[in-house]
Amino acid sequence: MQEEIFEQGYDIYILGINQVGFEIANEQVTEERNIPWLQDQESVLMWDEWEVQYRDVLIFDESLTIRTVINLSQFDLRDENNYSSMFNTLTTL
């Protein structure tokens, strides 16, 4: 989706943030993927601050305010309608 966003001229970036305590999976998660991957830290705890659940996608506006949250466990992007809906959500904020 990131490539498609750039190809259509949008200045929108997708990145992942791994939860504290799951650092051992970073290599596996990033294998054959090209989005930036960050590691949350005990001193920051952004997952707690943002009340993130496993597989949540948080969508922010330009002022870094959370506009919506989509959970990929319930909103499978392999479904074309879900993919299109998420793409539209990202590109119309």
Q: Where are the domains of the chain?
A: 2-91
> Given this model, what pLDDT does residue 93 score?
85
Q: Are 57 and 76 in contact (CB under 8 A)?
A: no
> Given this model, what pLDDT does residue 3 score?
94
User: Low-confidence residues of the chain, pLDDT below 70?
Assistant: none
In this structure, the number of other CB atoms found within 10 A of the CB of residue 26 comes to 14
> Given this model, what pLDDT does residue 39 score?
96
Contacts of 89 (CB under 8 A, 6+ apart): 59, 68, 70
Claim: this prediction has a pTM higher than 0.75: yes
38, containing H or E segment: strand 37-39
